[in-house]
Amino acid sequence: MTKYEWDQTKINRFNYIFNNWNRYNNRTIKAWDLGRSISLCRWGFNVGFITEDEAWKKIFHYARIIQSLYNSWEEYGYDYFMGRLFWASGFREEESYFARTETVYRQLLNSYWSWIDWHIDLDQSETTVIPVKTIRFLKPDDNDGTAQYSTNDPALYNKWPYSYSPNPNPDPNIYECRIKKISGNNSYGFGILFCVDDADRNNINFYRFFITLNGTFTIAKRIGNNWAPTPVSWRNSSFINTGYNEYNTLRVERVDNEKNATFRIFINDNLAAAFNDDNPINGSKAGLVVSVNIMEMEQFPYIPVDVRFYF
């Protein structure tokens, strides 16, 4: 290494491969380079360096190369995954990247990727126009007994639509709902609103209980058109059933004290957090809420954000 005057990044990568040769001796890790090439096309379009037509032309060029080198999403994804670890090893960050990337790889195999045929004809013309459709907390077409929020409308990127009504629970101090996410970005929240106060329709107050498919949750407080200090910051919870199509039951129990209110937060009947509020919101309504990620993270119009709620 001294003879060839390698820099520290190359030395780190050499050592990583040497110590993990059994995992790399049959890998090309070209998937990482080709996948990054496609990312550069997207980013180049987003910042105006190339037109959309130029971006698609280059993306399909790389897609044809990828399709010819691998036989499945699983094979391509694993080679990309190993390439990402190789890249991260140059900075000695392979362990943190492994923890994050391996989870994403497994989720993709059971969601977006599995819906698309690996051997799809990349030269066929796009003849089917997918309609843009939004279902706003209504009974779904499959009539599974839930309320559904579903959208593939680009106008809703980075929005958090919600709906509310009188709390259906007989106990006005308990808010509870079963929820699941069928599709949509896994890192963006969905959940319930509680203590909704809409006395002033232009300044609605509420608490928002969000979870994600990644196993995190938070409680936020909205006063009028502004967010107040967060009662419960984002945190991990082993009580959350992670992954698509997994139901989670969210429940909030409120106890009014002499000068404040105490809120106990339950996930699947497990106490996940509690907080006191010296200036609590005193509304009596409950609601449903979904957040839609930014353009680069959703798959509109092909794959909608689809969340089901069951009171």
Instruction: Express each pLDDT in 162-208 by its tens digit.
Output: 999 999 999 999 999 999 999 999 899 999 999 999 999 889 999 99
**Same domain flag for 163 and 304:** yes
Is 90:14 a contact under the CB 8 Å cutoff?
Answer: no
Is 207:194 a contact under the CB 8 Å cutoff?
Answer: yes
- Convert the pLDDT of each residue in 81-110 to its tens digit: 999 999 999 988 888 888 888 878 887 887
Q: Within the chain, what is the greatest distance between any pair of CA atoms? A: 78
Flag whether pLDDT at 308 surpasses 90.
yes
Flag whether pLDDT at 239 surpasses 70.
yes
1 found inside a domain: no
Residue found under tokens 């509109």:
300
**Same domain flag for 168 and 74:** no
Q: Which of 55, 84, 115 is the last residue of a domain?
A: 115
Q: What is the mean pLDDT of residues 276-282?
A: 96
**Same domain flag for 81 and 207:** no
79 found inside a domain: yes
Dihedrals phi, psi of 80, to nearest 5 degrees = -65, -45
123 found inside a domain: no
Q: Give the 3-state secondary structure of residue 123.
A: coil
Residues 99, 103: Cα–Cα separation, whole Å = 7
Q: In the chain, what percentage of residues exceed pLDDT 70?
A: 97
Supply the pLDDT for residue 4: 64
296 found inside a domain: yes
**Same domain flag for 177 and 284:** yes
Alpha helices (runs of H) in the chain, residue ranges in sequence order: 8-19, 21-24, 30-46, 52-69, 73-89, 94-109
**Same domain flag for 238 and 305:** yes
Is 152:132 a contact under the CB 8 Å cutoff?
Answer: yes
**Same domain flag for 50 and 170:** no
299 found inside a domain: yes
2 found inside a domain: no
Domain that holds residue 53: 8-115
- Of 55-64, 106-115, 209-218, the range with the lowest mean pLDDT is 106-115
Q: Which of 115, 145, 166 is the last residue of a domain?
A: 115
**Same domain flag for 12 and 69:** yes
- Of 57-71, 136-150, 179-193, 243-257, the range with the lowest mean pLDDT is 136-150
Is 193:174 a contact under the CB 8 Å cutoff?
Answer: no
The domain tally of the chain equals 2
Is 152:133 a contact under the CB 8 Å cutoff?
Answer: yes
**Same domain flag for 107 and 148:** no
**Same domain flag for 107 and 160:** no
Dihedrals phi, psi of 14, to nearest 5 degrees = -60, -50
- Of 107-121, 182-196, 203-217, 224-238, the range with the lowest mean pLDDT is 107-121
201 found inside a domain: yes
Flag whether pLDDT at 1 surpasses 70.
no
Q: Which of 53, 84, 115 is the last residue of a domain?
A: 115
**Same domain flag for 159 and 246:** yes
**Same domain flag for 95 and 189:** no
Whichever domain contains 281, its CATH number is 2.60.120.200
124 found inside a domain: no
**Same domain flag for 109 and 141:** no
